[in-house]
Amino acid sequence: MGELKQRFQKVLEAIDQTLDGPLDVSALAGVAAYSTFHFQRQFSAFFGLGVADYRRLLRLKRAGQQLAFRRELPVTEIAFDAGYENLESFSRAFKRVFGHSPSAFRSTPDWSVWHRTYDPLLQLKGQFMSDQSLDGSAVRIVAFPETAVAILEHRGPPQEVPATVRRFIAWRKAHASPPSRSVTFNILYDDPKTALPEDYRIGVCCAVNGPVTENDEGVEPGTIPAGRCAVIRHSGPLDFAEETIRALYRDWLPQSGEELRDYPLFVQRLSFFPDVPEHEAKTDIFLPLK
């Protein structure tokens, strides 16, 4: 299974990298070192759907993210970006998967349907894409400066975090604090695999230069304190960063001789999906040290 897993990991990477191009099943079969016939059967055996349907779901995932978080993008542009020739065919495909039209999803996203659709695929993909090893040489020790932030704390099931993110984006737009002007952070108070859903907590925040006034979104002033941190860069979906985080605790920390500081793990979002392809998203993971 090890060699087969590596071959299909390369297939998934190739699909991510060619998502906006035409589907070339023969080329993907070559990546897997299979004949086209056997490749398609093996892919559907692993993922429960054909490679064309898998790519279609990835394109619709990006479309859903654009609808929910990039509200300035016209729906027609999102439809073309997803590979549909017209708005009507895009709307039919989107509603078939999510149960709502694109405009209805943009207005009030149904994240329960979203997670029922994508969580099983994400778990399967994680089995192929995760890497248990950690390159210790990639870990840096830095002196993080005290940073004033505007923070919106989410408390509740991880599946509801996108709704909190939408509120925070609304605040950022109203206060002219886009990611290009103010650095974006997430403070990871809890482990999503061990915290009770109702107790799960994450801070969505960005750097600020002035006061954070009272607002309807619930954004409050906060501070990320100065201190030493171990830093490692994660590439790809933030959902898969947990493997890197666990390796930091399990492998790097015991060998480093360092001790943890009493402040939660936090990340700096350097580039975002859907602004960049999901596999190109970059995140720096900060582990606070004494």
- Using CA atoms, how far apart are residues 215 and 74, in angstroms rounded to an integer? 28
Q: What is the mean pLDDT of residues 168-181?
A: 91
pLDDT digits (tens, 9 = 90+) for 59-70: 999 999 999 999
CATH class of 136-288: alpha beta
More confident residue, 41 or 136: 41
Q: What pLDDT sits at residue 244?
A: 87
Give 139: exposed, middle or buried? Use CB within 10 Å, 0-12, 13-18, 19+.
buried
Q: How confident is the model at residue 199 (pLDDT cuts 50, 70, 90)?
A: very high
Domain boundaries, the chain: 2-129, 136-288
pLDDT digits (tens, 9 = 90+) for 127-141: 777 655 677 788 999
**SS3 assignment for 168-228:** HHHHHHHCCCCCCCCCEEEEECCCCCCCCHHHCEEEEEEECCCCCCCCCCCCEEEEECCEE
Residue with tokens 């790519």: 55
Domain spanning 2-129: CATH 1.10.10.60: yes
Provide the edge-to-edge strand list for the sheet that holds 201-207. Answer: 140-144, 227-235, 282-288, 265-271, 184-188, 201-207, 147-155, 220-224
pTM, entire model: 0.87
What is the distance in angstroms between the CA of the first residue and the CA of the last residue of the chain?
42
